[in-house]
C-alpha cells in the first residue's frame, strides 16, 4: 500500500488517505515478518529485531519518496536516496575505524542511524501535504480498496518482471552450479547498466503521465522517449561490445575469460528490452496494468520453457539465449499492444 502505485494515486486522492494507511500497513507487515522469522529461524535470532526496524523505516522512507514523486519533486526524492546512502556509508566507516566493529553489526548500526535520520528528514519534506487532522473525518473503509487494488496489481507486475529478469539465473545455478552463475552474473550486470537510460526516462515519464490529463500528448512523448532510449542504449551496448576481453580478465581475474563470449546472445535482448521499460511508464501513469501483466507473463513463460531446453546443452550461452528470447517476446507483445491502442486512441480523438 505504500509502493510506487501511489505515484498514480496521489494526484487523484487526498494524500493522508493514502499515506496513513500505508504507514499502518508497513508496521503490520514488519510485525508479521518479525514473527515469521522468529518462528522459522531462517536467520540468526539476534538479527530479527534489527531487520524488523530497518524494514519498517525503509518502508516509511519509500512512502515519503513516493509522495515526493507524486508531487513531481523528483530531485528531492533522489536527494533522499543520496542522503541515506551517504549516512549509511559514513556510519559503516565510523564503526570500522573508530568503534572497531567489523562484523554485521557495523552495517546494522549504521543502517539504523541512516534510516532513522532519513525517515525523519523525509517526513518533514512531505508533512505539509499530509493533513493528519482531516484523516479521521474523511476516512472510510472503502478508501482502502483503491490503494490496495492498485498496489496489488503493481506488485504483480513487479513480480512477473523480476521472474522475467532473473529466473534464468536460478536455472543456471540449479543445473550447472554456482561457479557458472558467478561468472555469468558479472557479464549481465555490466550489460544491464545500459538500462539506467530507459529507467531514468521511465521514472520521469511515469510521474509526468500520472499528473496530466493530456493522454494524447503523453502517448506522443512515449514514442519519442522510446526512440531516444533505443538509440542511446544501442550506442552504450556498442561501447561495451568493443571492450577488450583483456579488460575483463584484468578486473575480475582469469576465471572470467569466457564471460564476453557467454553473454553475446544477450546484446539484442538487452537492447530490445529498453522498449518496454519506457512504454511501461506510460501504462503505469494511466493506471492500466493489464498490458504489463500479460506481456511480462508471456515473457516469463517463454523464459521458463527455453531455459529448460537451452541451459543444459549450452550452459551460459543457453541462459543468455533464453533470456534474449524472453526479452524480445515481452517487448513485441507490449509494443504491439501499445501500437494498436495508439491507433485506437487517435481514431477516437479524431471523432
Over residues 49-63, mean pLDDT = 94
Terminal Cα distance for the chain, rounded: 39
- Please name which of 52, 58, 53 lies closest in space to residue 32, comparing C-alpha atoms: 52
Is pLDDT at 191 greater than 60 in this prediction?
A: yes
> In whole angstroms, what is the distance from residue 161 CA to residue 268 CA?
18
- % of the chain surpassing 90 pLDDT: 59
Q: How many CB atoms neighbour CB 95 within 10 A?
A: 20
> In whole angstroms, what is the distance from residue 348 CA to residue 195 CA?
34
> In whole angstroms, what is the distance from residue 190 CA to residue 200 CA?
17
Is pLDDT at 204 greater than 50 in this prediction?
A: yes
- % of the chain surpassing 70 pLDDT: 93
> In whole angstroms, what is the distance from residue 305 CA to residue 310 CA?
9
Q: Contact, 194 vs 233, CB < 8 A?
A: yes
Q: Chain-centre distance of CA 211, in angstroms?
A: 21
Question: pLDDT band at residue 346, thresholds of 50, 70 and 90?
Answer: low
Question: pLDDT band at residue 187, thresholds of 50, 70 and 90?
Answer: confident
**Exposed/middle/buried for 176, CB within 10 Å: 0-12, 13-18, 19+?**
middle
> In whole angstroms, what is the distance from residue 22 CA to residue 15 CA?
11
- pLDDT value of position 347: 58
**pLDDT tens digits, one per residue of 288-338:** 999 999 999 999 999 999 988 888 888 888 888 999 999 999 999 999 999
Is pLDDT at 340 greater than 80 in this prediction?
A: yes
* pTM for this model (two decimals): 0.87
- pLDDT value of position 124: 95
Cell of 15: 494524500
- pLDDT value of position 146: 85
Q: Contact, 311 vs 322, CB < 8 A?
A: yes
Mean pLDDT of the chain: 88
**pLDDT tens digits, one per residue of 207-241:** 999 998 888 889 999 999 999 999 999 999 998 88
Question: pLDDT band at residue 351, thresholds of 50, 70 and 90?
Answer: very low
Over residues 69-83, mean pLDDT = 93
- Please name which of 105, 127, 112 lies closest in space to residue 55, comparing C-alpha atoms: 112
Is pLDDT at 261 greater than 60 in this prediction?
A: yes
**pLDDT tens digits, one per residue of 3-17:** 888 999 999 888 999
Question: pLDDT band at residue 348, thresholds of 50, 70 and 90?
Answer: low
Cell of 200: 531514468
Q: What is the DSSP string of 100-114?
A: ---SHHHHHHHHHHH
Number of H helices, E strands in the chain: 15, 0
Amino acid at each position: 500500500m505504500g509502493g510506487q502505485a501511489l505515484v498514480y494515486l496521489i494526484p487523484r486522492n487526498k494524500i493522508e488517505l493514502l499515506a496513513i494507511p500505508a504507514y499502518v500497513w508497513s508496521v503490520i507487515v514488519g510485525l508479521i515478518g518479525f514473527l515469521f522469522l522468529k518462528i522459522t529461524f531462517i536467520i540468526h535470532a539476534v538479527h530479527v529485531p534489527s531487520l524488523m526496524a530497518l524494514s519498517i523505516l525503509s518502508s516509511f522512507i519509500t512512502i515519503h519518496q513516493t509522495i515526493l514523486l507524486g508531487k513531481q519533486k523528483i530531485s528531492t526524492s533522489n536527494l533522499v536516496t543520496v542522503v541515506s546512502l551517504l549516512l549509511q556509508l559514513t556510519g559503516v566507516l565510523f564503526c570500522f575505524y573508530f568503534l572497531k566493529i567489523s562484523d554485521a553489526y557495523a552495517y546494522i548500526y549504521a543502517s539504523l542511524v541512516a534510516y532513522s535520520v532519513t525517515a525523519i528528514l523525509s517526513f518533514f519534506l512531505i508533512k505539509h501535504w499530509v493533513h493528519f487532522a482531516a484523516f479521521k473525518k474523511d476516512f472510510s473503509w472503502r478508501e482502502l480498496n483503491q490503494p490496495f487494488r492498485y498496489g496489488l496489481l503493481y506488485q504483480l507486475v513487479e513480480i512477473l518482471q523480476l521472474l522475467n529478469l532473473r529466473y534464468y539465473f536460478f536455472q543456471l545455478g540449479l543445473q550447472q552450479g554456482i561457479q557458472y552463475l558467478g561468472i555469468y552474473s558479472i557479464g549481465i550486470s555490466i550489460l544491464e547498466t545500459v538500462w539506467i537510460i530507459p529507467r531514468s526516462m521511465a521514472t520521469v515519464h511515469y510521474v509526468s503521465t500520472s499528473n496530466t490529463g493530456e493522454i494524447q500528448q503523453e502517448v506522443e512523448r512515449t514514442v519519442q522517449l522510446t526512440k531516444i532510449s533505443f538509440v542511446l542504449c544501442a550506442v552504450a551496448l556498442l561501447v561495451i561490445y568493443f571492450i577488450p576481453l583483456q579488460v575483463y580478465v584484468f578486473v575480475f581475474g582469469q576465471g572470467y575469460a569466457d564471460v564476453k563470449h557467454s553473454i553475446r546472445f544477450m546484446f539484442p535482448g538487452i537492447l530490445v528490452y529498453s522498449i518496454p521499460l519506457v512504454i511501461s511508464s506510460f501504462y503505469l501513469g494511466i493506471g492500466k496494468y493489464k498490458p504489463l501483466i500479460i506481456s511480462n507473463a508471456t515473457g516469463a513463460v517463454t523464459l521458463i520453457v527455453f531455459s529448460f531446453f537451452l541451459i543444459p546443452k549450452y550452459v551460459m550461452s543457453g541462459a543468455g539465449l533464453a533470456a534474449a528470447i524472453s526479452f524480445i517476446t515481452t517487448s513485441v507483445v507490449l509494443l504491439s499492444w501499445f501500437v494498436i491502442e495508439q491507433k485506437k486512441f487517435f481514431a477516437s480523438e479524431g471523432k
